Homo-oligomer: A and B are copies of this chain.
């Protein structure tokens, strides 16, 4: 069984992946700088003999290279996900998403690790969407970036591809996520709305006008997809050693739908206060809706609808209010 190196191992998706990999028999080295990750997410993993957590930062190339020794697959999930405040700290996306990815790839070269999966984002499509009501396929037009986050992830994708097409690594899997939710979810609109409704159940402040359309994917469906594709090894046999997959559900909702699901599950009828405008913040893409035919053609499909995913997220937040205090 293989030895998997997971960056961002204490994060929402990373820790969920660690648990899945351990359950499937893999040896796992988790790597995290604990800047936003939660050690509590790894409590189960830490009791497992096949798990080891190394605390370190992707910008520390020697430590990263040393920690990766012996691995034969890398899941590179560590990232700066603070999309909204990009302009307060414009260097963060560059450092934590672009330069960090370069360090991961160089650590792989140094250790002879040949396979990697990378969590990218639907934000890489910027606003190049020619037909904005149609889901965006992987081979859409060359986009114009609209956010530092999208630009930094596009840059990370480019690095993976250059390493794979330049024969420095054998298999590069790039997954462009919609928003992911589910157990251990610690930021995003469900997180914020629930926090507000605990504080003041009678009203809810909504960024934008509520008609922003978004697509969400449940975290275990996301993990199913990544594990399915990387185990099938599609990049081994394809013309390109870089394989790019959109990851999402074939449906979307409006923020207003999501509010309805949340309030229904909580039994609340708050007064809604909209800040207005067709996007929540500068650089927010009013509509991320990905064409997932390519990944579905591999045999994967999501088990939960967006509504089911939102309700599970809410139930987890209700049972784990500690994450609101633990948050940085």
On A, residues with C-beta under 8 Å from B are: 86-87, 90-91, 94, 98-99, 102, 106, 109, 124-128, 138-148, 150-152, 154-155, 157-159, 161-162, 165-168, 240, 242, 244, 282-283
| B139 pairs with A165, CB closer than 8 A | no
Complex Cα spacing A283 to B87, Å: 34
7 residue pairs, one from A and one from B, having the closest CB atoms: A151-B158, A155-B155, A145-B161, A145-B158, A151-B162, A146-B165, A139-B141
Q: Can you offer 11 A-B residue contacts whose CB atoms are under 8 A?
A: A87-B166, A90-B109, A94-B98, A127-B240, A139-B141, A142-B142, A142-B143, A145-B161, A148-B162, A151-B155, A152-B158
| A159 pairs with B151, CB closer than 8 A | yes
In the complex, what residue of chain B is closest to A130 when comparing beta carbons? B139
| A127 pairs with B168, CB closer than 8 A | no
Complex Cα spacing A155 to B162, Å: 12
In whole Å, how far is A163's beta carbon from the nearest beta carbon of chain B? 8
| B161 pairs with A146, CB closer than 8 A | yes
| Extra 19 A-B pairs, beta carbons < 8 Å, given A142-B143, A154-B154, A167-B282 | A87-B166, A90-B106, A94-B99, A94-B102, A124-B142, A125-B142, A128-B139, A140-B141, A141-B141, A145-B158, A145-B162, A146-B166, A150-B158, A150-B162, A151-B155, A151-B158, A152-B158, A154-B158, A162-B283
Complex Cα spacing A217 to B251, Å: 47
| A162 pairs with B142, CB closer than 8 A | no
In whole Å, how far is A130's beta carbon from the nearest beta carbon of chain B? 8
In whole Å, how far is A41's beta carbon from the nearest beta carbon of chain B? 31
In the complex, what residue of chain B is closest to A153 when comparing beta carbons? B158
Complex Cα spacing A99 to B99, Å: 9
Contacts of A102 in B (CB 8 A): 90-91, 94
| B144 pairs with A142, CB closer than 8 A | no
Contacts of A165 in B (CB 8 A): 126-127, 144-147, 283
Complex Cα spacing A11 to B171, Å: 38
Complex Cα spacing A242 to B145, Å: 9
| B161 pairs with A126, CB closer than 8 A | yes
In the complex, what residue of chain B is closest to A283 when comparing beta carbons? B166
| A144 pairs with B240, CB closer than 8 A | yes
In the complex, what residue of chain B is closest to A138 when comparing beta carbons? B142
In the complex, what residue of chain B is closest to A157 when comparing beta carbons? B145
In whole Å, how far is A33's beta carbon from the nearest beta carbon of chain B? 20
